[in-house]
Amino acid sequence: MNSSPTPRVRRFSRSVRRAVNSGHVVFAVGLLGAEWAMLLTSVVARSTDDPTLRHSGYRLMQVFALGGGIPFSVLSLISGVLLCLYTPWGLWKHLWIKVKIVLLLAVIVTGVGVVSQFVHRLMSASAPGGDADALPALQTWHLAAVIFQILALIVATALSVFKPAGKGARRSRTPVKPRTRDAEASSDRTGTPRRQPESADSR
Ligand code: HEM
């Protein structure tokens, strides 16, 4: 008879979970805010006739990336992974979390691989004596990349609230078990279930 005790799964306490989840929401939605600031600056830099304002706009974008985009995306990912590992959600069990992981990684790769490169090239092309002819193409690609990041973050936020294919889908797939004596024992006369152990979404 194997009597080795089942290893206890480490979980966040309710207050720690709420604290980490609050931080996660601040970082994730803060990232959306930083991207929005990047978009507004991109539109102003693209539409202004003032070369100084245009060049300053591209220099400011570097601040949004270093002070907002990069730290918020890394902190969103770390807090998200912690929430997966120390709550019943799990890292690769639910579709909404899988999609969010892919979306955030796509936002990070686009940020590091595309947006930051374009910001550098836009800064030099908009500088006095820079290759101003290259600006329109660079501006279009940069704008497209930032719009993609914003759409990905909006989808991730909606997924986090609606949690599709989470518990609802799971329940519908599980066959309804006929009520047994035990089930009767675990619910009171009115059929309301007695307090059940913690589920993924009980925060
Ligand atoms: C793409 C950027 C992301 C955004 C905008 C985002 C947004 C959110 C929001 C708004 C919530 C709160 C939902 C609620 O309280 O009902 C949440 C919860 C959660 N997020 Fe994210 N998230 C992002 C990325 C991630 C990633 C990459 C992971 C996993 C690695 C993740 C894992 C989770 C988990 C597990 C919860 C549930 C927390 C709980 O039940 O206590 N998120 N997210």
Average confidence (pLDDT) per 10 residues, the chain, 203 residues: 67 95 96 96 95 95 93 97 94 93 96 90 93 92 95 97 72 55 56 53 54
Please report the pLDDT score of residue 104 as a whole number.
97
Beta bridge partners of 187: 193
Please report the pLDDT score of residue 10 as a whole number.
78
Judge whether 125 lies within some domain. Answer: yes
CA-to-CA distance for 190 and 68, rounded, in angstroms?
A: 53
Task: Spell out where the chain has E strands.
Answer: none
* Distances in whole angstroms, Cα of residue 70 to Cα of each of 34, 79, 181: 10, 14, 56
What number of residues does the chain have? 203
What atom in ligand 1 is closest to the CA of residue 29? 5
Q: Which residue has the tokens 């890292």?
A: 91
Give the single-character DSSP code of 187.
Answer: B
Please report the pLDDT score of residue 142 as a whole number.
94
Count of structural domains within the chain: 1
SS3 193: strand
Q: Please tell me if the CB atom of residue 20 comes closer than 6 angstroms to any atom of ligand 1.
A: no
Q: Please tell me if the CB atom of residue 81 comes closer than 6 angstroms to any atom of ligand 1.
A: yes
Judge whether 117 lies within some domain. Answer: yes
Q: Please tell me if the CB atom of residue 80 comes closer than 6 angstroms to any atom of ligand 1.
A: yes
Backbone angles phi and psi of 193, in degrees to 5: -65, 140
Judge whether 159 lies within some domain. Answer: yes
Asked if 76 and 70 touch (Cβ cutoff 8 Å), the reply is no
| CATH number of the domain enclosing 157 | 1.20.120
The Cβ of residue 12 has, within 10 Å, a number of other Cβ atoms equal to 17
The domain of 77 spans 14-165
Please report the pLDDT score of residue 202 as a whole number.
56
Buried b (16+ CB within 10 A) or exposed e, 36-50: bbbbebbeebbeeee
Judge whether 198 lies within some domain. Answer: no
Asked if 166 and 201 touch (Cβ cutoff 8 Å), the reply is yes
Judge whether 118 lies within some domain. Answer: yes
Closest CA to ligand 1's atom 21: 80
Judge whether 188 lies within some domain. Answer: no
pTM of the model: 0.80
Please report the pLDDT score of residue 189 as a whole number.
53
Beta bridge partners of 193: 187
Ligand 1 centroid–CA 43 distance in Å is 29
